[in-house]
Amino acid sequence: MGNLMPYRPVGDVFSQMRKEIDDLARGWFGAPMTTPSLTLGAWPTGEGMFAPLDVHETETEYVIRMDIPGVDEKDVKITCQGDTLTVKGERKSEKTETKGEMRYAERTYGAFLRSIPLPASVKAETVRAKYHQGVLEIHAPKSEKNPAREIKVEAG
């Protein structure tokens, strides 16, 4: 049991480096003071759950698929404002009766929040979502594009 290593999927070097720096800073200062939102919301901090996602664009809509296994659909809230879609939820800790001590744990529990900036506004009133086998799928229809209009310049 002493030889178990955490599973880390092969990814790009910078993601691994960022994680190691975050782990080091967390050891010195506790949890990060702010949640970075440079790309697609927050990344895992060790204080809660991380919900990885994919965003796919068609001519008429954005389709977001998010892995949130173990989260009950009633614990998921989705909001849409302008060109930002926000998904938050919580995977509640399981109550397990075990004898002895925990030897190894990778599973995380707690709240998550992802804000997804989309390239264009969506029709908030027609966004729909479904949850099946741990995958949340959100369909966000694009707003009508404002047609280009020529503006006449008047002489002063």
Q: Write the pLDDT tens digit of every residue in 68-95.
A: 998 999 999 999 988 889 999 988 877 7
The predicted model gives 13-29 an average pLDDT of: 71
Give the integer Cα–Cα distance in Å for 34 and 55. Answer: 24
| pLDDT confidence of residue 152 | 75
pLDDT tens figures, 90-145: 888 777 666 777 777 677 788 889 999 988 888 888 999 999 999 999 999 988 76
Q: What is the DSSP string of 62-113?
A: EEEEEE-TT--GGGEEEEEETTEEEEEEEEPPP----SS---------EEEE
For residue 21, the model assigns a pLDDT of: 80
Q: How far is CA 78 from CA 62, 73, 75, 103, 116, in A?
A: 15, 11, 10, 36, 11
pTM over 0.75: no
Helices (H) and strands (E) in the chain, counts: 1, 7
Query: What pLDDT score does 5 carry?
Result: 59
Give the number of other Cβ atoms within 10 Å of residue 135's Cβ. Answer: 14
pLDDT at residue 60 above 70?
Answer: yes
What mean pLDDT is reported for the chain? Answer: 76
Q: Of 9-13, 15-19, 21-25, 133-137, where does mean pLDDT reach its minimum?
A: 9-13
**Mean pLDDT value of segment 11-35:** 64
Look up residue 137 and give its two tokens: 């799928």
> Average of pLDDT values for 24-28?
65
Domains with residue ranges and CATH for the chain: 13-93+107-141 (2.60.40.790)
Task: Please tell me the predicted confidence (pLDDT) of residue 6.
Answer: 61
